[in-house]
Each structure stands twice: as C-alpha cells, then as structure tokens.
Chain A
Amino acid sequence: MSSTPSTTQGTKSAGSSARSAANGNVIKRLQSELMAMMTSPTPGLSAFPSGSDITKWNATITGPTDTPYAGLTFKLTVSFPSNYPYAPPDVMFKTPIYHPNVDMAGRICLDILKKGGDGSEGAWSAVLNTGSVLLSIQSLLGEPNNASPLNGEAALLWDRDQAEYKKKVVARHQEPAEMDVDAA
C-alpha cells in the first residue's frame, strides 16, 4: 500500500539558505554568543550580524570616558572564520580612527586577535568570545600598546602631547551618520 507521505516539505527553516559559508557548529556558537550579548549587554558595546551571512557582523563601540575618544562612536566589522572559535575573528575599524595600534586601513594590532599556540605571539583562545574581543578593543582605546605601534606618529604623540593627540583624534573621526552621507 502506499507510503506514509513524506514530511520534508513541512520543515520550516528560517534562513537556512543564507548560512552558506559556515557549518552548523559555528552557527550554533555564534547564535549563542549573539543571544548572550543581547540578553546581558555591555554598555558601550553592541554587535549584530550584518546580513544573511551570520559569520559577518557589524559592531559598535563608544569611546571610553576619560580618554581622547570619549563620546565618539566607532563602527567595526567582525568576520568569523569557518573554524571559529579555534581561530580568532577578523576585526577591523570601519570608522577612521587615529590610534597607535590601528593603521590607516582600520587593521588592529592586538594580541588576542592573533592565533595562539606554540611559537606564536598570539593570545587568541576559544574561551574568548565576541563580547570579550570588543571589550578588549574598547579598553585598547584608552590604553594603547605603544611598544608595537602600527601608527608610529600616534604612539609618539600619545606620550608627548595629549592635547594635540586629542585634536588629531577628533580631526580624523567621522560619526557614522557622516559616513553614511559620504557614502551616499
């Protein structure tokens, strides 16, 4: 006699087509990270997937008070590799920033953003997560690591002339709204 009718068509899958680049474990991990960030948000930090690909996020950091960056908002992109969390995410500043450890293209020099392990200077570990990475970057704004600068001038200026430094920071900074206008 006939079949028990097939059931596959009934399955609802929300956006399954969109998660092309990542495997199930990565998605699960990212979803739980997102859930954690949403349910217990850290002030001044937020992150959210940018589009249909859950491995590409946008993040927002506000500059810590009592630093030259106070009151400024910075946009970043976070891109997770397919073997996340065994490899660190790739984080870049989208907002132009004047900082000793960030170069003109927005690349960040931070130990936890480099793969750890034997013989490597990186400090990434699977126990870290997006929230902690963003928190580290936020604190990096107030405490630059001038020993290994990407922007040498900024490193020098940080030690010599905080007022001039602050001027440079503000001059270089663009609020996200201005960037949108530029882009348009």
Chain B
Amino acid sequence: MTEEPTQQTNRDDAWAKPVDKLTVGDARAGAMNLNVDGRGLTGPLQGFGQLWQKTYRIRLDGAEASVQDVVAYWKANLPTLMPDDSRFYPSLTGVKPGEVLLINATLPGMPGGMPVSTGVLILYADDEAFSVMTPDGHPESGFNTFSAYDEDGTTVAQIQSLARANDPVYEFGFRFMGGGAQQERIWRHVLTGLASHYGVTAEVDVKKVCVDNRLQWNRASNVRHNAVIRTTLNAPVRAARRLFGRA
C-alpha cells in the first residue's frame, strides 16, 4: 500500500459536484438542447431493462502514445470521433467533471430513423479516464466510461458501459429494433477512429455480460421522460420556429 492521506486527495476534483437536476450552460452552435435541462440523473439501478456491462477494447499496437496522451486526445476530439448519426456536443468548457454533453442522434426503428435529443453529465474525468452518467429520458440508464490503460507495454483504449434500458420502449428497441446493434456499431466506430489517429488498424474486442437479467417493472413509468418520444413530439415546434426564423 502507498502512504497517502485517506480519501481526501486532489484526485477528488475528478468527480462532478453533486447536482439534483442538470443545467445546460454554454451549448455549442448547432446542438439541439432538448430533454436535458432540469432532468435528474439515472444510474444503473434506476432503469427498467436488463443490466448489461459491455466492454469494447482496442489495442494500439505500435502506437507511440501513452495512456494520458490517448485520453487527452479522446477528450479533445470526442465530437469528431462520433459517427454522423450520433453527434456529441460538449460544452465550450470541454470534457470536464460536472459539464453536460448534449447528444443529437438518430435511432433505428423506422425509415430515416427516429431523432433523439438528450445528453449526459460528465460524472468523472481524470487523465486516464472519463465517465458519463445519463439523465431521465436517455435511452440508457447508467454509466459509460472511456479510458485507456497499459497492457504489457501497449496502450489499450476502452469503452465500458454499465447500463440498462431506461424504460420499456427503449428495452424493446434495444432487443428487437436494432438499438443494441447500433450501439455496438457506434462504439466500434469511435475506437477504430481513435486507433486510426495513431496509425493503428486493429479489431475491436467486445465483451458483454448480463449483470442483472431482471426487468425492473417498478421503473416502467420512466417512459414519461422518454427522449425519443419527446423529441418527436417537439418536431412541429422546431419546424414552426425554423419557418418563422426563431432559433
């Protein structure tokens, strides 16, 4: 064991400060800000569906990049690493603990996809990892951790989610409408893009573990916050605003 002061260290600054409700501050231009302001946070215990731990890894063999280099690049370039159908908009402050990252995505399930505007809280960020936590209405309820670590002298980049579908509609979507496959495609895209930056072409290793196969029926009412439904219902309002020239 190392001799360190117990519990209170400057690493504690890596955690977001406690919040009851999310507040979106300086949203980037082009980001649709819906279903985030005023929402509470939901963790792996508060969602509806089966709880899954999904781990996506890519080895950066031959890359001259430390763990810290990779995570710094990841934080700085998070939006450009995402695919076109899942846009991330960090606040102007960047990927920092307590900041809110807006997400504008398109989910499968109907021709052209279903638009969803949501976001996540940057729950934790240090120089080796950053984690996000979902709000009410997000397709998932839980955490996503983006990290890097050293494995036998090679830097490995990893995305690990610990989450369940937030409500019955999302659970159905993940299981039967291609939501789960889309999620896997997105994280493969991010990791291969990250590896590509370092000149590495490699396979993404995926491991999925069902941590809890129970459905939490007492959370079925989470559907009232469903961001896909709310984004869709909001479409006429957005169209009217565009028509009359209001932001």
Do A and B interact? no
- B contact set with A: CB distance below 8 Å: none
